[in-house]
Structure 1
Amino acid sequence: RSYFFSLIPLCNSDYLDCSSAAMEKVAQANSPRVAALGSEAGGMLHGLQVLERIAANQTQNITRVLVLARKAIKVSDQVPAKTTLLI
């Protein structure tokens, strides 16, 4: 469990594929007893309100998203890109 969850020891946690899925689940639950960790922008997309703004416990907390397509596209060599794919 993370540092954040150690602050609320009576909390039950559920792990989902991504924060967006967690926010969607919270929006569907429509209960003040259910919350999700995620970005403020993501919460707005799901009609949720921010309960608390917290800083990440890692200085370089970066989320990368991989979008796959059948047809390749060219990306300029001048665009800094780093891809990690775990299967």
Structure 2
Amino acid sequence: MKDALIRAAVAAGAPRLIHRFLHAGDVAILMYHAVTERPLSVPDWCFVEADSFRRQMTYLKRHFDVVPLSSVVKRLKEKPRRP
């Protein structure tokens, strides 16, 4: 019974909701070094192919509030977080 309840909570998105509640107001900054149209001849973790980049952007748009860095800086200047 306990396992079934846990599985149902996970399927309903409870972990994500708990995470969002605990980390409300936190900011994560994601930076890409380069987006390439074709695979590189040598794998490099700094580069991502355009198709993969598009999929990642779609995922981020669906699951996160994506804002420009300038908006984050402006918000922090207007209302700094307390330690």
Q: Structure 2 length as normaliser, TM-score? A: 0.21
Q: Which has the higher strand share?
A: 2
Q: Which has the higher helix share?
A: 2
- When Rg is computed on C-alpha atoms for both structures, the one with the higher figure is 2
